[in-house]
Amino acid sequence: MTTTQILTSEQLQQKIDRLPRLKIAHLPTPLEQMPRLTERLGGPSIWIKREDMTGLAYGGNKARHYEFEMPHVADAGYDVMINIMDYHSNNARMTAAAANKIGMRYILVLRNAANRQVQGNLLIDKILGAELHLLDEYQSGDAQGYANRLKEQLEAEGHRPYLIQDHLFPRIVGMVGFVQAGIEIRQQIEENNLKNVHIIGVAGRSLCGLIVAAKSMGLDWKFTGVTVNYDVPLPDYIFRHNRDIQELLDLPVTFEESDMRVLDQYVGEGYGLMTAEVAAAIHIAAQTDAIICDPNYTGTAMAALIDQVEQGGFSSDETVIFLHTGGLPAVFTFAEQLANFKG
């Protein structure tokens, strides 16, 4: 029988420290209680990890990702980044901010963005100086082709463009930011003497980074991932990369699909379309513990948390930690729906 080697926090930290890092996030982010939400729901104790407070143009999970991803891109000699995202994307905004930090030119191809009000993330993209290509509905069907042509043009001009969607490996490098967060959360959990930890958040790379950290350190934290996007199936998005992160950090373990309970019943009509439950959850989190969630990602995860507590999806002796991954400017894109919401 083989026994899996367990790493101490220090040993895991040493492995992370071998990678180049750009310190752009405000760390550690707080781990704090949500006493009023806990009381309102009458379930297990609810805490929140404030990844919305990382800084970097309104904060979010990508600040940690880019600490590791940006040096990787810069060291490889690229001189311009191209990103294809949706018009309200948080990723688009935070990539613009991270690119500015290293003085990298940044071209943003935004789907379904033509004739939109310049508000929320789109406004911040503009202020940050991203070179915007706002595609209409028709062009958006071939956003990748559009970006490929831009890339070819730049190459013909002698540039070294880095089209983010062509490179999967740096996304894995970015996950290391959340392995790092796992060490941070462990310390905060110990300081607060929390038991039976169950972390819930958007099902994505960030949560998987935490899973890798917890398993590597032999911790028994449980994980629930909330699906927000029908377009990108999780197996394609993250699970095909589990061995990559194991190799990248030379870890004794990796994450597996079975490590995360996946909830996909809260997506609603699809990405970018806010459900009534999400609008309600945004108001509940705000009106209890003054936490602002976004309409796409963290609002959906908060709606899932509330519903799961109500349905008995957590045991009463668990400490539920909500991973708030940011996305704040998106509330302004959904201003009308949120302002007219009658809960």
Ligand X SMILES: Cc1ncc(COP(=O)(O)O)c(C=O)c1O
Q: Return the residue of 327, 329, 331, 338 that touches ligand X, per CB under 6 A.
A: 327
Contact 297, 202 (CB under 8 A): yes
Closest to ligand X by CB, 43 or 299: 299
Nearest to 29 by CA among 4, 7, 54: 54
Cα end-to-end distance, the chain, whole Å: 56
Contact 225, 263 (CB under 8 A): yes
Closest to ligand X by CB, 90 or 308: 90
Piece of the chain touching ligand X by CB under 6 A; list 11-19, 183-191, 278-286, 322-330: 322-330
**What is the C-alpha to C-alpha distance for residues 36 and 291, in angstroms, rounded to an integer?**
11
Closest to ligand X by CB, 154 or 211: 211
Piece of the chain touching ligand X by CB under 6 A; list 32-40, 120-128, 271-279, 319-327: 319-327
**What is the C-alpha to C-alpha distance for residues 331 and 342, in angstroms, rounded to an integer?**
16
Least distance in angstroms from the C-beta of 156 to ligand X: 31
Piece of the chain touching ligand X by CB under 6 A; list 98-106, 219-227, 251-259, 321-329: 321-329
Closest to ligand X by CB, 43 or 327: 327
Strand partners, 222: 198
Closest to ligand X by CB, 154 or 322: 322
Residue 2 DSSP one-character state:
P
Question: Considering the rule CB under 6 A, would residue 60 count as an interface residue with ligand X?
Answer: yes
Question: Considering the rule CB under 6 A, would residue 294 count as an interface residue with ligand X?
Answer: yes
Nearest to 277 by CA among 310, 233, 307, 257: 307
Question: Considering the rule CB under 6 A, would residue 259 count as an interface residue with ligand X?
Answer: no
Residue 7 DSSP one-character state:
P
Question: Considering the rule CB under 6 A, would residue 54 count as an interface residue with ligand X?
Answer: no
**What is the C-alpha to C-alpha distance for residues 145 and 151, in angstroms, rounded to an integer?**
10
**What is the C-alpha to C-alpha distance for residues 304 and 313, in angstroms, rounded to an integer?**
10
Closest to ligand X by CB, 72 or 205: 205
Question: Considering the rule CB under 6 A, would residue 205 count as an interface residue with ligand X?
Answer: yes
Q: Is the dihedral of CA 149, 153, 155, 160 positive or negative?
A: negative
- What character string, x for contact with ligand X (CB under 6 A) and - otherwise, covers 82-111? --------xx--------------------
Q: Which residues bind ligand X (CB under 6 A)?
A: 60-61, 90-91, 202, 204-206, 294, 297-298, 325-327
